[in-house]
Amino acid sequence: MASHRKSRPSGTRVAGIRTPALATAALTSVALLSQTATAAPADDKPSLEEVEKKVGDLYRQAETATEKYNGAKEKTAKQREQVDTLLDDVAERTQKLNEAREELGSFAAAQYRSGAAAPDTATFLLADSPQDYFDQTQLMGRMTSRQKSAVDEYVTEQSATMKKRQEATESLQSLTETQSDLKTAKATVQTKLADARDLLSKLTAEEKARLAAIEKEKQEEATRKAAELARQQAAEQKAAQEAARQQESSAPSSSSTAVTDSSYATKAAKALAFARTQIGKPYVWGATGPESYDCSGLTQAAWNAAGISLPRTTYDQVNAGTTVSLSAAQPGDLVFFYDDVTHVGLYIGNGMMIHAPKPGAYVREESIYYDGESAIHSVVRPA
């Protein structure tokens, strides 16, 4: 007799539940995916390329903060000098006012002795001005012209002194705000540099070697681009000289241009000679020499050696001259970098420059393409 018992389906029991083979496979996949998801966060270390980009970004952010620091420091010095001058002026004026007040008080006492009116010292000292006091006590009519003149001078000086006191108060407030900006910029620089050092310290010896290899490749490409620019500039210069020879009729104009170029070349040579003697000195943010420099501190010092005064920060230096094309760059020109104009170097020709690169580095000659062609912002001729 045929059995009516159903055959048992193949599969296994999980927690008392019979599961088909397909469900078992699905559960296995879920378990494996779960294990993978759990293990993934353990390997969240950034790639070497990410570290390089992050470190580069931190250095640029530090340089941005450095230029803000430089600007705030320069502004602080000027404001402090202004405040000191105002305070000295206020003190001197106050002394004169005190002396004048005593003299006017003696006028009131003299009038009292002559029987004109009773002196009221409190009223005199609290009056808005000696003029008010003498009007109130009806003494103005009895004063001599010299005494009346003294009152007028006192009132004028008092008004000027009050104005100077207000200026000093406002200048002190502005100085306090600038000092706060200075403190903030300094803290930002220190934080960004600490973050960069922390990232680099976590690299293994092998990773550091790979990072050095990447940097070497970048420098080789930068050198190639510099040589390419040098060839372009040489070709353009040769073409310009040929055109000049063919236009002898414009000799007066050409002569004037030649004199101008010669004058600039002489000054630029002095600036470059100074910059070359600084090669090997360390980059220190906020430094202007003579033992260390930041980027704008170096260019400022170099052109100062040539008798040209440049502003302190890159933001101001970029506007302290005539902008020229990269292909027309001459030795001595300032080359600025990045959209926020936070780095500068001194062009020496052939696509190369002298600059103070970044913390941990030294003043050196390097291709202007050291951080890629897109990093170049502009070229400025400062004299």
The set of catalytic residues is 295, 343, 355
Handedness of CA 274, 275, 281, 286 (dihedral sign): positive
Query: What are the φ/ψ torsions at residue 347 (nearest 5 degrees)?
Result: -70, 135
Measured at the CA of 150, the angle between CA 144 and CA 151, to 5 degrees, comes to: 95
First to last CA, the chain: 116
Half-sphere exposure of 38 (CA within 13 A, CB side): 6
| Tokens of residue 327, six digits | 């292909």
105, 110, 192 from 123: Cα distances, Å: 11, 16, 62
| Tokens of residue 44, six digits | 């969240």
How do strand 12-14 and strand 376-381 relate by DSSP bridges?
unpaired
* Nearest partner of 230 among 330, 310, 317, 162, judged by Cα: 330
The answer to whether the CB of 335 falls within 8 A of the CB of 368 is yes
The Cα–Cα gap between 29 and 216 comes to 46
The answer to whether the CB of 139 falls within 8 A of the CB of 113 is no
Beta bridge partners of 367: 352
Handedness of CA 311, 336, 62, 315 (dihedral sign): positive
The Cα–Cα gap between 314 and 71 comes to 9
The Cα–Cα gap between 312 and 74 comes to 8
The Cα–Cα gap between 45 and 51 comes to 9
Measured at the CA of 299, the angle between CA 294 and CA 300, to 5 degrees, comes to: 95
The answer to whether the CB of 274 falls within 8 A of the CB of 301 is yes
| Tokens of residue 5, six digits | 């018992």
CA 124 to chain centre: 54
